[in-house]
Copies of this chain bind each other. A is one copy, B any other.
Amino acid sequence: MARPRIKDVARLAGVSEKTVSNVINDYTHVSDRTRRVVRDAIEELGYRVNLAGRHLRQGRTGIIALVIPELDVPYFAELARHVVREAERCSLTVLIHQTAADRDHELAALSGFGSSFVDGVILSPLALTPDDLRDRADAPPTVLIGELLEEGADHVAIDNEKAAREATAHLIGLGRRRVLVIGGRSDTGQGTAQARTRGYRAALAQAGIAYDPAALLPVESFRMPDGAEAVTRALREGARPDALLCLNDQLALGALRALYEQGVRVPEEVAVIGFDDVEAGRFSVPTLSTVAPDKGAVAKVAVDLLRRRMDEAAGSPAAGASPAAVRSPQDLVVAHSLVLRESTEGIARVPRPGAGTGSAPVAPTPSQRTPGISNS
């Protein structure tokens, strides 16, 4: 009645345990007849391999961890979906772990959850310092996404500086001159926020617009309430922006809400643009222009790179043999595009026809996406 073991299969099939193992693992030299007999026995007993035994023997689990700050931030959730799909293709299981942007949690993830039961880690760090990355000794292969911390670790992301430059340039091209940056940071760190802020400044410089440090509105975290609060406070303090560059879509959606509450029209008075292209931005009122990273590509590139690292780790434990070209840390850049929607374009809204709605709508369907300006 208990779960059958390989031993039970062997007994039923009248062969040794190893032969059963050979059949399971598609070992070459097994006669067709034996293979069939064993298969039948497996079928009859409903046998399935026990991962614990295999793991102990082989030292691998087939599980990789995806470590992200918050599950309920749509960008991470959407990314997670892609990573899971991608991993499934290589029959890897993804263990999703949230760190709540907590350094200890991220550290734990880096070293494989205090035990080697994941074969690799894809980590989106928020609170780690470059130092943390250095003193990991026996950590599993790791690929970072999103934040660029420093040389020394594999990393996949879009060109954040360039993307921010393009987005800002677009706002300037619309005639906007007073662009606030929600979530902007002036320090010279390696984080995404800093890179995007640099891009913003580059665009200003290119257009010959003076940079005002007060245009950077810091936020506690990158969620809707923070965006709303930052904008509300800025307006209350007398800011008169004609555009907002929000460093992610959550901030932008919060900002849209705050602008609405303050009676500021978007995009007529203030244009708004975000980052990430989350689904909610396609249905907000107004719909949200945004920098769209190719999430599928981020996931694919990250998983591919991680797999290479895992193979290396497994293949040559006594390192050195493999070509330095692959072993040296990779910093891979993924494509992004600028998706323009109502929050920057000012698509005319259907005038209110009393309660009637018989006429065909003029506004675009929300799912309709502007082709966008693709980067290299």
Q: How far is the CB of A259 from chain B (nearest CB, A)?
A: 9
- The reply to whether A52 and B61 contact each other, CB–CB distance below 8 Å, is yes
**Across the two chains, which residue of chain B brings its CB closest to A255?**
B283
**Across the two chains, which residue of chain B brings its CB closest to A256?**
B285
A129 lies within 8 A of chain B by Cβ: no
**Oligomer: number of copies:** 2
Query: A228 — which chain B residues lie within 8 A by C-beta?
Result: 283, 365-366
A325 lies within 8 A of chain B by Cβ: no
Q: Mark A67-78, 1 if CB is under 8 A from B, else 0.
A: 000111010011
> With the chains together, A96 CA to B97 CA distance in Å?
8
A373 lies within 8 A of chain B by Cβ: no
> With the chains together, A263 CA to B285 CA distance in Å?
12
> With the chains together, A55 CA to B50 CA distance in Å?
10
Q: How far is the CB of A130 from chain B (nearest CB, A)?
A: 21
Residue with the greatest number of chain B CB neighbours at <10 A, chosen from A80, A137, A282, A283: A283
The number of residues on chain A lying at the interface, defined by a beta carbon within 8 Å of a beta carbon of chain B, is 79
Among the listed B235, B254, B287, B355, which residue makes an inter-chain contact with A269, where contact means beta carbons less than 8 Å apart? Answer: B355
Query: A264 — which chain B residues lie within 8 A by C-beta?
Result: 355, 357
Chain A residues 13 to 41 lying within 8 A of chain B, measured CB to CB, are none
A93 lies within 8 A of chain B by Cβ: yes
A48 lies within 8 A of chain B by Cβ: yes
- The reply to whether B3 and A366 contact each other, CB–CB distance below 8 Å, is no
**Across the two chains, which residue of chain B brings its CB closest to A258?**
B366
**Main SS at interface, chain A:** loop
A225 lies within 8 A of chain B by Cβ: yes
> With the chains together, A116 CA to B349 CA distance in Å?
56
Q: How far is the CB of A81 from chain B (nearest CB, A)?
A: 5
**Across the two chains, which residue of chain B brings its CB closest to A352?**
B263
A12 lies within 8 A of chain B by Cβ: no
Q: How far is the CB of A336 from chain B (nearest CB, A)?
A: 19
- The reply to whether A263 and B353 contact each other, CB–CB distance below 8 Å, is yes
**Across the two chains, which residue of chain B brings its CB closest to A268?**
B355
A211 lies within 8 A of chain B by Cβ: no
Query: A258 — which chain B residues lie within 8 A by C-beta?
Result: 366
**Across the two chains, which residue of chain B brings its CB closest to A61?**
B52
- The reply to whether A53 and B56 contact each other, CB–CB distance below 8 Å, is yes
Other CB < 8 Å A-B pairs besides A49-B115, A263-B353, 6 of them?
Answer: A46-B138, A228-B283, A235-B357, A261-B361, A264-B355, A265-B352
